[in-house]
Amino acid sequence: MAQSRREWIRGNLLASGALLAPAGAWRQSPGVKTAGGTPRMRLTFRPYTLQLKHVFTVAVNSRTTTPVVLTEIEYDGIVGYGEASMPPYLGESHDTATAFLSKVDLSRFANPFELESILETIDGLAPGNPAAKASVDIALHDLVGKLVKQPWYNIWGYDPKLAPVTTFTIGIDTPEVVRQKTREAAEFKVLKIKLGRDTDKAMVEAIRSVTDRPMSGDANQGWTDRQQALDMIGWLKERGFLYVEQPLPKERVDDLAWITERSPLPVIGDEGVQRLPDVRKALGVYTGVNIKLMKSTGMREAQKMLQLARGLGMKVMLGCMTETSCGISAASHLSPMVDWADLDGALLISNDVFDGTKVIDGKVVIPNRPGIGAVKLGARG
Ligand code: MG
């Protein structure tokens, strides 16, 4: 039955061009019932494709687009917005998110404030699918914030003035392009450099030739030898780096712990830290964790990860995928409590559909608006 429904939805999406065109038609998850007079939550969603301003290259791949799914949860005339961003190498897609969201029946919950049990039920619908789950979590948080007329930083008790600066990411490229991108990123106080290839030192030296700003490095599991990785971290420290992400493949836990024990810079787990149970496992393996809504299944679990990491005395970084200002705004409400933010995802795309959290003078600025603070832009896409 599930298979036939998926095929039916896919057939409809293909017929509407939704799987081919950047913007798909809005779909409503099945099972929505209207109980006479009682407000019920209604989930709708549509595929959308983000266009990147530059070809984006990291250690494992290059790409020019990112598939996302935009969600809305409507309840009693109020709409909450959400998003799933799905870089292809993580395994989710328009198809998988559509299949997952088609199973979500919010009409069985009468009270949107029961975030905990609603999101636990949704998490249990299928394993995996963290971004699709995040798209429901974010829309539900946005809805609840709007219902109580408060931004999430107020609900959580965080001071938005403490929001940090964000890094701006420079992807792997030729020295000439890297120098140009560095000049264009003049507003940003910290640059994040994608590493993990044999061109690392040339990349760093090209950037250092045009700026003395602090930097962070992300090897994206691209280094292979632990001693060479440790030597490289020492070399990066001498060149003004603040921390490094994921020096080795996530499976090499013992080697990562060996590096972390000796590293002159904090070592942050990203690919190796997805959800809440991973934070505890990261203790002793990494200095800190990189929390992203698209890995954690959304704001609810991301905040728990933040609190657990803090309780364990670990550093916390807040990251993102390429996302619209919807996903970035949602993540930004956690930013006052983190050591480092990497929330440049919406700045890397040319077809954002939301206005929300901005970067001003390199600093994350969260709007004082209820919910996640993202407002839909006009009828673009
Ligand atoms: Mg990373």
Confidence tier at 23 by pLDDT (50, 70, 90): low
Report the separation in Å between the CA atom of 252 and the middle of ligand 1, taken as the mean of its atom positions: 16
Report the separation in Å between the CA atom of 351 and the middle of ligand 1, taken as the mean of its atom positions: 23
According to CATH, the topology of domain 154-376 is TIM Barrel (3.20.20)
Q: Edge-to-edge strand order for the sheet containing 62-75?
A: 27-28, 42-57, 62-75, 78-85
CATH 3.20.20.120-classified regions of the chain: 154-376
pLDDT at 58: 64
Buried b (16+ CB within 10 A) or exposed e, 155-191: eeebebeebbbbbbbbbbbeeeebbebbeebeebebb
Q: Return the structure tokens found at 55.
A: 């070809």
In 200-347, which ranges are E strands? 215-218, 241-245, 267-269, 288-291, 315-318, 340-341
pLDDT score of 124 more than 80? yes
Beta bridge partners of 120: none
Report the separation in Å between the CA atom of 154 and the middle of ligand 1, taken as the mean of its atom positions: 28
Report the separation in Å between the CA atom of 53 and the middle of ligand 1, taken as the mean of its atom positions: 19
Which segment of 35-49, 221-235, 314-328 scores lowest on mean pLDDT? 35-49
Report the separation in Å between the CA atom of 300 and the middle of ligand 1, taken as the mean of its atom positions: 21
Q: What is the DSSP string of 172-204?
A: S--HHHHHHHHHHTTT-SEEEEE--STTHHHHH
Q: Return the structure tokens found at 251.
A: 């499976």
- Tell me the per-residue pLDDT of 188-212, one tens digit each, with 9 for 90 and over: 999 999 999 888 999 999 999 999 9
CB 293 within 8 A of CB 83: no
Closest CA to 315 of 256, 242, 215, 365: 242
Section 288-298 average pLDDT: 98
Q: What is the DSSP string of 80-101?
A: EEEEEE--GGGS--HHHHHHHH
pLDDT at 325: 98
Report the separation in Å between the CA atom of 145 and the middle of ligand 1, taken as the mean of its atom positions: 29
CB 341 within 8 A of CB 165: yes
Section 163-171 average pLDDT: 92
Q: Return the structure tokens found at 182.
A: 């560095």
Report the separation in Å between the CA atom of 244 and the middle of ligand 1, taken as the mean of its atom positions: 9
Report the separation in Å between the CA atom of 50 and the middle of ligand 1, taken as the mean of its atom positions: 19
CATH of domain 5-149: 3.30.390.10
Provide the 10 A C-beta neighbour count for residue 227: 11
| Mean pLDDT value across the chain | 91
- Rounded to an integer, what distance in angstroms lies between the CA atom of residue 362 and that of residue 165? 5
Report the separation in Å between the CA atom of 26 and the middle of ligand 1, taken as the mean of its atom positions: 32
- Rounded to an integer, what distance in angstroms lies between the CA atom of residue 274 and that of residue 253? 15
Share of the chain above pLDDT 90, in %: 78
Highest mean predicted confidence (pLDDT) among 35-44, 55-64, 199-208:
199-208
Report the separation in Å between the CA atom of 98 and the middle of ligand 1, taken as the mean of its atom positions: 26
Per DSSP, helices labelled H in 287-324 are 293-296, 299-311
pTM of the shown model: 0.89
pLDDT at 174: 87
Report the separation in Å between the CA atom of 295 and the middle of ligand 1, taken as the mean of its atom positions: 12
Report the separation in Å between the CA atom of 220 and the middle of ligand 1, taken as the mean of its atom positions: 6
Report the separation in Å between the CA atom of 46 and the middle of ligand 1, taken as the mean of its atom positions: 27
- Tell me the per-residue pLDDT of 130-142, one tens digit each, with 9 for 90 and over: 999 999 999 999 9
CB 354 within 8 A of CB 377: yes
Furthest-apart CA pair in the chain: how many Å?
68
Section 99-118 average pLDDT: 95
Q: Which residues sit with Cβ closer than 5 angstroms to ligand 1, an ion?
A: 218, 245, 270
Section 84-92 average pLDDT: 94
pLDDT score of 119 more than 70? yes
CATH 3.30.390.10-classified regions of the chain: 5-149
Report the separation in Å between the CA atom of 346 and the middle of ligand 1, taken as the mean of its atom positions: 16
